[in-house]
């Protein structure tokens, strides 16, 4: 063990020497005594966060303190904070920054965030009495130990070179899953920055494939895995102890059910809706054409997307049909595409209006389609309900403005998933899924906007589903397979077992799109469920046929 | 942050000549021009006053531990206000170096006071984890004796001014030499206090006293 001891620095010695030789004003015993007492009483205890005594207005949760302690005292302040959505990763990061500053281990901190979250970060840091500046993309004349910058802005010239020249003590990256591809500018830029400590924040460290984690590890602990091959071998290996040991050095992940937080309830209502005559006829026309193409094996994934858009709103489907790539499809269906605004009304919109009126409080609506978003905004306005829009394309100022408007004035926010990362809407207690994404993790991301730490009320969640549509098919199969759904949503962090979001999507798509019968589809999902139940499951590839449905139970029993 | 920080700021402002009106968890202070210029962040105001040769009016502020709901305001400074943080930092800096005189029990008798150099502070570990080490070391500038101290009773028997009938002696050992020796002695004392059993054998540690406090105390003993 090597121990290096040092006291003050050269500058300190010179200042003290100058003081001793100067004729200064008399010292104050009272002032010196209080300063002495404060310093003496605040010495750092073993494995304890000393910054906690400086926090007056709020107390972090035990799991947040424990995560910060682990990063500081066990992981050398180089880690991925990968807590589930809504558990307070920002608070954990704030604690780490505050403690490192208190211990004088860092003087210069750079926080790279998506531009829409810069203001929110500044606000969160203020809770720790940590002043910071946001780099606005001009020549920065202000000085602050903490700089918040948009990664998309500073990764490009002229800022890129400026930031590469600087040496930061701590580099913190929010939504760090955007660094998982080594070919991207994001990854290369972060790799080129000089920093002693690095903290990455993401709820989904694995986005597309398990190698994502390897690429993140290269930015944090380059020597943790010798090579990509070594990493893959470790994952494939039966003995998971070594892998777990390495992962413990790399990542912390707190789950909701492991925390002491008393979570409010999620009151889930699934509402089955009969489509209105026009939307029904439009949907059926598209479905019939789709079935015809399926028989002739001419169908594609984009045609399936049309069905989903038809379930979202008529206007969304019409907009898609008017697109160039669906010209042929459009000609084949025999339905009136020139309609009046009244015919555009959907049963879902009417149901949403009913829920909003009954709820008499803030309501958040999520949809996947911009056309549906705009339509719902217009429809609610026609019925005297004020609503605001929120989508990824908005600039950060507008996003903040929309959030403020929703909190203070509007009754409803109609949002798309894009850009809703990091959105905190705990003041809202009602969420409506106007349509369903295929990926259950996105569903959880949506719910995490309102059902997160700080939510004091039970949250009402409504799923709006059209009867006799593709939504019914998907939902019924998934409902029957609740274990499967829970496995995906609740335990999606079996990150290293070979299961990935992309694989899952691909397999689900294949099961629904290419199955020649309900029986085959059911069989494929049975197989998926049985695979996911295994401790180290690996999603089968779509081309690895799991039976055609005609083989019956014999095939199934083999799984 | 706690009530002691408020007292620290109050003592600092009094020491710097500000007029303080006491309250329970807060106090009102009439700043001096020097303090206003340094801490209140109103360069335009003072620039305008200077340019027009007018006398400025230093601010009157309320310093409080009660948190404020609204944004930081000019005339109310709470614990989260940047000015509060700056004042705490400056107060610690001001108290970082000191010069005191021990008061004799009997003030009517003429006594000689002998200079001692003191160094104290917290030595912190990097990587963090082990408990910090608090140490106070002193050295006589007359005899060269080095001592470890348990405490420094600043308020009880020390004064910022030379007490009546007391004559401070001139140091025999030069300051430069004394500082070097005291630092070496403190490093040794820290090494002796480290509980090596609590450290990980495979790691190497830096133990650093970032901002030691130090000063000279004229004592009755040589």
**What pLDDT score was predicted for residue A237?**
79
**Enclosing H/E stretch for A463:** strand A459-466
Greater model confidence, A481 or A345:
A345
Tell me, yes or no, if B160 comes closer than 8 A to chain A by beta carbon. yes
The answer to whether the Cβ–Cβ distance between A31 and B183 falls below 8 Å is no
Residue A24 near chain B (CB below 8 Å): yes
Looking at residue A478, its pLDDT comes to 56
Is residue A141's pLDDT more than 80?
no
A129 SS3 class: coil
Query: What pLDDT does residue B176 have?
Result: 92
Task: Write down the pLDDT at residue A299.
Answer: 63
Distance CA(A416)–CA(A518), nearest Å, equals 31
Write down the pLDDT at residue A297: 67
Pairing verdict, β A412-416 and A387-390? parallel
Between A91 and A494, the higher pLDDT residue: A91
Residue A28 or residue A531, greater confidence = A28
Determine the length of chain B: 222
B1 near A CB under 8 A: yes
User: Which tops the pLDDT comparison, A224 or A517?
Assistant: A224
Mean pLDDT of chain A: 81
Arithmetic mean of pLDDT, A141-145: 79
Q: What is the pLDDT confidence band of residue A238, given thresholds at 50, 70 and 90? A: confident
Q: Which residues contact residue A209 at a Cβ distance below 8 angstroms, ignoring those fewer than 6 apart?
A: A500, A502
Is B183 strand, coil or helix?
A: helix
The reported pLDDT for the residue numbered A264 is 82
Contact of B55 with chain A, judged by CB distance below 8 Å, is answered with: no
For A330-349, what is each residue's pLDDT tens digit?
A: 777 767 777 787 788 899 99
β-bridge mates for residue A143, sequence order: none
Cβ of residue A10 closer than 8 Å to a chain B Cβ: no
Average pLDDT over residues B54-73: 76
Segment A425-450, tens digit of pLDDT:
889 999 999 987 766 667 777 888 88
Helix pair angle (A301-312, A277-295), 10° resolution: 170
| A553: contact with B, CB 8 A cutoff | no
For the segment A251-288, what is each residue's pLDDT rounded down to a tens digit?
998 887 777 777 788 888 888 889 888 888 888 888 88
The more confident residue out of A556 and A43 is A43
The Cα–Cα gap between A206 and A250 comes to 13
pLDDT exceeds cutoff 90 at A513: no
Taking CA–CA distances from A14, the nearest residue in chain B reads B176
Chain A touched by B186 (CB under 8 Å): yes
What pLDDT, on a 0 to 100 scale, did the predictor assign at position A314?
86
The residues spanned by each domain of chain B are 3-95, 97-219
pLDDT at A545: 38
- Using the predicted structure, report yes or no on whether residue A490 has a pLDDT greater than 60: no
Contacts of B90 in chain A (CB under 8 A): none
> Alpha-carbon distance A480 to A472, whole Å?
12
pLDDT, position B64: 86
Q: What is the pLDDT of residue A15?
A: 92
Choose, out of B17, B77, B130, B154, the residue to mutate when testing the contact with A (most A CBs < 10 Å): B154
| Interface contact A131-B206, CB threshold 8 A | no
- Residue B174 contacts A, CB cutoff 8 Å: no
B220 exposed, middle or buried (CB, 10 Å; 0-12, 13-18, 19+)? middle
Neighbours of B168 (CB within 10 A): 14
Q: What is the DSSP string of A183-224?
A: TSHHHHHHHHSEEEEEEEE-S-S-SS-THHHHHHHHHH-TTS
Answer whether B26 touches A (CB < 8 Å).
Answer: no
Interface of B with A in 61-80 (CB under 8 A): 65, 67, 79-80
Alpha carbon distance A112, A110 (integer Å): 6
Q: Do A27 and B98 touch (CB under 8 A)?
A: yes
Residues B194, A47: C-beta atoms closer than 8 Å = no
* Dihedral pair phi/psi, residue A454, rounded to 5°: 105, -15
In B, which residues are within 8 Å of A46 by CB distance? Answer: 129-131, 198
Name chain B contacts of A142, Cβ cutoff 8 Å. none
Angle at A120 between CA A117 and CA A126, to 5 degrees: 145
CB contact under 8 A, B208 and A5: yes
Q: Which long-range contacts (CB under 8 A, 24 or more apart) does A427-430 make?
A: A427/A362, A428/A361, A428/A362, A428/A363, A428/A364, A429/A361, A429/A362, A429/A455, A429/A457, A429/A458, A429/A459, A429/A460, A430/A355, A430/A359, A430/A361, A430/A362, A430/A363, A430/A364, A430/A459, A430/A460, A430/A461, A430/A462
d(CA A448, CA A256): 11
- Report which DSSP code applies to A76: T
**Confidence check: pLDDT of A401 > 60:** yes
DSSP code for A469: S
Q: Cβ contact (<8 Å) for B205 and A37?
A: no
For residues B4-20, average pLDDT: 93
Q: A277-318 pLDDT, tens per residue?
A: 888 888 888 888 877 777 776 666 566 778 888 888 888 888
* pLDDT for residue A557 is more than 50: no
Interface test with B, best of A10, A12, A15, A20 (most B CBs within 10 A): A20
Q: Residue B205 is nearest to which of A3, A24, A37, comparing CB atoms?
A: A3
Q: Quote the percentage of chain A above a pLDDT of 90.
A: 34
Answer whether A15 touches B (CB < 8 Å).
yes
Q: Which residues have CB under 8 Å from A394's CB, separation 6+?
A: A116, A402, A419
**Could you tell me which of B41, A219, A218 has the C-alpha nearest to residue A230?**
A218
- A45/B216 touch (CB, cutoff 8 Å), yes or no: no
Res A556: pLDDT: 29
What is the tens place of the pLDDT at every residue in A110-132?
A: 999 988 788 889 989 988 989 89
pLDDT of residue A247: 86
Q: Dihedrals φ, ψ of A324, to 5°?
A: -60, -40
From chain A residues 77-106, the ones with a CB under 8 A of any chain B CB are 77, 99, 103-105
The pLDDT, as a whole number, for residue A548 is 31
Concatenating the DSSP letter of every residue in A363-429 gives EEEEES-HHHHHHHHHHHHHTT--EEEE-TTS-HHHHHHHHHHHHHT-SEEEEESTT-TT---TT--
pLDDT at A551: 31
Q: For residue B86, name the pLDDT band (cuts at 50, 70, 90).
A: very high
Mean pLDDT over the full length of chain B: 89
| Residue among A19, A28, A53 whose CB faces B160 most closely | A28
pLDDT in tens, B153-194: 777 789 999 998 999 999 999 999 999 999 999 999 999 999
Report CB contact under 8 Å: B207, A4.
yes
Cβ-Cβ contacts under 8 Å, A97 against chain B: none
pLDDT of residue A482: 45
Q: Among all chains, which residue has been given the structure tokens 């402002």? A: B13
Average pLDDT over residues B88-94: 94
Judged by CB atoms closer than 8 Å, whether chains meet at B80 and A36 is answered as no
Closest in A1, A43, A77 to B122, CB measured:
A43
- The string of pLDDT tens digits covering residues A153-173 is 999 888 999 899 999 999 999
Residue A537: pLDDT above 80?
A: no
């Amino acid at each position: 063990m090597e121990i290096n001891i040092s006291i003050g620095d050269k500058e300190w010695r010179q200042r003290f020497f100058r003081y001793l030789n100067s004729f200064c004003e008399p010292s104050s015993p009272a002032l010196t005594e209080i300063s002495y007492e404060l310093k003496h009483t605040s010495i750092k205890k073993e494995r304890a966060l000393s910054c906690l005594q400086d926090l007056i207005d709020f107390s972090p949760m035990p799991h947040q303190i424990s995560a910060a302690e682990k990063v500081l005292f066990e992981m050398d302040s180089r880690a991925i904070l990968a807590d589930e959505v809504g558990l307070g990763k920002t608070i954990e990061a704030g604690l780490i920054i505050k403690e490192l500053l208190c211990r004088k281990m860092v003087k210069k901190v750079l926080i790279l965030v998506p531009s829409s979250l810069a203001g929110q970060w500044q606000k969160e840091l203020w809770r720790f009495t940590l002043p910071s500046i946001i780099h606005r993309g001009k020549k920065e004349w202000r000085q602050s130990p903490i700089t918040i910058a948009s990664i998309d802005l500073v990764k490009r010239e002229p800022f890129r070179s400026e930031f590469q020249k600087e040496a930061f003590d701590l580099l913190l990256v929010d939504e760090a899953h955007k660094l998982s591809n080594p070919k991207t500018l994001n990854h290369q830029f972060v790799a080129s920055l000089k920093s002693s400590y690095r903290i990455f924040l993401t709820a989904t460290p694995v986005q597309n494939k398990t190698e994502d984690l390897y690429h993140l590890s290269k930015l944090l602990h380059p020597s943790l895995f010798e090579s990509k091959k070594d990493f893959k071998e470790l994952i494939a290996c039966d003995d998971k102890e070594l892998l777990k040991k390495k992962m413990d050095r790399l990542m912390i992940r707190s789950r909701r059910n492991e925390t002491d937080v008393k979570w409010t309830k999620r009151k889930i209502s699934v509402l089955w809706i009969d489509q209105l005559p026009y939307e029904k006829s439009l949907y059926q026309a598209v479905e019939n054409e789709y079935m015809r193409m399926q028989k002739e094996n001419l169908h594609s994934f984009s045609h399936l997307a049309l069905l989903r858009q038809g379930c979202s709103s008529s206007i969304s489907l019409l907009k898609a049909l008017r697109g160039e790539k669906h010209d042929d499809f459009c000609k084949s269906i025999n339905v009136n595409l020139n309609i009046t605004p009244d015919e555009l009304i959907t049963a879902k919109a009417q149901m949403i209006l009913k829920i909003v009126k009954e709820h008499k409080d803030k309501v958040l609506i999520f949809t996947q389609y911009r056309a549906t978003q705009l339509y719902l905004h217009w429809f609610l306005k026609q019925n005297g309900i004020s609503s605001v829009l929120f989508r990824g394309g908005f600039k950060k100022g507008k996003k903040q403005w929309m959030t403020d408007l929703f909190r203070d004035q509007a009754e409803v926010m109609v949002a798309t998933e894009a850009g809703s990362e990091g959105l905190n809407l705990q003041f809202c207690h009602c969420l409506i899924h106007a349509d369903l994404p295929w990926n259950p993790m996105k569903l959880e991301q949506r719910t995490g906007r309102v059902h997160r730490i700080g939510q004091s009320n039970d949250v009402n969640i409504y799923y709006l589903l059209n009867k006799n549509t593709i939504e019914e098919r998907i939902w019924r199969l998934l409902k029957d397979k609740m274990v499967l759904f829970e496995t995906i949503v609740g335990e999606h962090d079996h990150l290293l077992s070979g299961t990935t979001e992309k694989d899952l999507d691909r397999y689900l798509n294949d099961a629904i799109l290419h199955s020649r019968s309900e029986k085959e589809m059911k069989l494929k999902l049975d197989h998926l469920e049985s695979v996911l139940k295994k401790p180290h499951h690996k999603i089968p590839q779509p081309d690895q046929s799991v039976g055609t449905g005609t083989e019956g139970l014999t095939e199934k029993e083999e799984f | 942050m706690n009530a002691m920080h408020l007292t620290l700021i109050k003592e600092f402002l009094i020491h710097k000549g500000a007029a303080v009106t006491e309250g329970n968890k807060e106090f009102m202070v009439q700043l001096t021009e020097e303090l206003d210029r340094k801490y209140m962040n109103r360069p335009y105001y003072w620039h305008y006053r200077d340019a027009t040769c007018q006398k400025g009016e230093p601010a009157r502020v309320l310093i409080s531990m009660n948190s404020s709901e609204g944004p930081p305001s000019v005339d109310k400074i709470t614990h989260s206000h940047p000015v509060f943080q700056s004042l705490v930092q400056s107060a610690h800096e001001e108290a970082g170096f000191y010069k005191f005189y021990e008061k004799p029990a009997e003030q009517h008798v003429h006594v000689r006071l002998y200079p001692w150099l003191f160094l104290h502070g917290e030595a912190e570990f990097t990587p963090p984890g082990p408990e910090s080490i608090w140490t106070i070391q002193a050295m006589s500038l007359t005899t060269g004796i080095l001592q470890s101290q348990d405490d420094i009773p600043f308020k009880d028997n020390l004064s910022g001014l030379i007490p009546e009938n007391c004559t401070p002696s001139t140091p025999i050992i030069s300051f430069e030499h004394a500082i070097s020796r005291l630092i070496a002695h403190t490093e040794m004392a820290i090494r002796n206090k480290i509980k090596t059993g609590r450290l990980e054998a495979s790691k190497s540690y830096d133990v650093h006293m970032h901002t030691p406090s130090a000063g000279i105390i004229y004592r009755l003993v040589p």
